[in-house]
Amino acid sequence: MPPATALLLHGFASGPASMWRFQEWLAELGYQAEARAQLGHGGRGPAADYSLAALAADNLAMGDHDLVVGHSMGGATATLAAARRPAWAGRLVLLDPAWRFTTADEAAAVKREELAALDRDAGEIRAAYSAWDERDGAAKIQEVARVWRPAAEGIIDANLDADLRDAARSLAVPTLVICGDPAAGGIVTLADGDAVASANPNVRLVRIAGAGHNPHRDDPEAVRRALLGWLAVPR
């Protein structure tokens, strides 16, 4: 019997190397886990369309998997892909998914911050993320250099009004949503997370107290416990 497969989808202005932790955790469980670059990331060049719909279609083209794990933008595109084609993912894990910008000001601030982050040198990146594991900092340095800047701008501009809460409420596959703490930078609001989880019995929501938008980097052990405990429950 072939091993179970897992697809790992990174967040905005990042890349496949950032998902190293999940590759290790899932390999211990016997998964064949592969991290793939999203449009405009990981050295991938220009694309005709940077809407979430286009990114989700690109995810679907990566083939069906027993498990899909997506962080931030990867969580958003995975949400949309799984809502469109449930057979794409046997199970779905969303890490602080970027389901929507809550205000226009938030969208503008995110664009400024994310594009400025692309201009940091290695020393500035290490300083900015000094609380992370050294491998996370090294992965960030590696992947920032492989982001195509016009794509980063295009992804933000094409999705300012995106709202994937309805897609999340419609998910027909077992889904674990691991959110950060809004007080620490998590982007899934308490209201949005609770509304999705209460409306969809397929969704289990876990919040990591004190963790921000990168719960797997801020508190990896808490994320590992939540993930492995959930995977241990039969579908």
Q: What is the pLDDT of residues 114-124, one digit of tens each?
A: 888 899 999 99
- How many residues are present in the chain? 235
Using DSSP, state whether 146 is helix, strand or coil. coil
Which segments in the chain show pLDDT lower than 50? Answer: none
pLDDT at 23: 98
Using DSSP, state whether 225 is helix, strand or coil. helix
The amino acid at 166: D
Spatial strand order of the sheet with 65-71 comes to: 32-36, 5-9, 65-71, 89-95, 175-179, 203-207
pLDDT at 10: 98
Orientation of helix 20-28 relative to helix 220-231, angle to 10°: 40
What are the Cα distances from residue 143, in Å, to 20, 42, 43?
12, 6, 9
With a CB cutoff of 8 Å and minimum separation 6, the contacts of 206 are: 176, 177, 178, 179, 226
DSSP characters over 155-209: HHHHTTT-B-HHHHHT--S-EEEEE--GGGT--S-HHHHHHHHHH-TTEEEEE-T
3-state helix, strand and coil shares in percent for the chain, rounded to the nearest 5: 50, 15, 35
Percent of all residues in the chain with a pLDDT value above 70, rounded to a whole number: 100
Residues 68-119: pLDDT tens digits?
999 999 999 999 999 999 999 999 999 999 999 877 788 788 888 888 889 9
- Among 21, 212, 71, 186, smallest CA distance to 129 is for 212
The amino acid at 83: A
pLDDT at 108: 80
Q: Which residues pair with 207 in a beta bridge?
A: 179
Q: Radius of gyration of the chain from Cα atoms?
A: 16
pTM to 2 decimal places: 0.96
The encoded tokens of residue 170 equal 């419609």
What does the alpha-carbon distance between residue 43 and residue 54 come to, in Å, rounded to a whole number? 18
